[in-house]
Amino acid sequence: MEHPHTPASRAAAFATTLLVLVELARVAGGRHDSYVAALLLALLVATAAVSLKLHRDNCFESRLGATLLAAFTGGGVVLTAVAGLPGQDVRPFGSLGFVMLVVSAAIVGLLSYDQAQRVADRR
């Protein structure tokens, strides 16, 4: 079911598009093992699909998908910096990792704020 966009939901939709671009830069710009590249590519495709759905419909499913994918992306960046990728040493995240972390947190925050506003408007 479609919902009209609010300023927070529009900002979240824009942030998911930014996250897609940053993920694309990370996939294209790095030398990854094949399994890591496959995981990053799957994350990229899923985020692009959710971003399109969020822009178009702004439904519950797209907001939930964007929240989950942003949490997975941010969690993956943190885990890579803390524990490292499987079979590899720990590497602190660079500028792309930092941008991914900030954008992921922004998506979760904006969608949480949007949901709180929707609930308050219904009352």
pLDDT of residue 1: 59
Q: Which residues of 60-99 are buried (b: 16+ CB within 10 A; e: fewer)?
A: eebbebbbebbeebbebbeebbeeebeeeeeeeeeeebeb
Residue 103 token pair: 């954008």
Which ranges constitute the DSSP H helices of 1-123? Answer: 7-29, 34-56, 60-82, 95-122
State the average pLDDT over residues 49-62. 93
In this model, does residue 66 exceed pLDDT 80? yes
pLDDT, tens digit (0-9, with 9 covering 90-100), for 6-19: 899 999 999 999 99
The pTM score is 0.89
Per-domain boundaries in the chain: 7-122
Max Cα–Cα distance, the chain, nearest Å: 52
Q: What percent of the chain clears pLDDT 90, i.e. is strictly above it?
A: 55
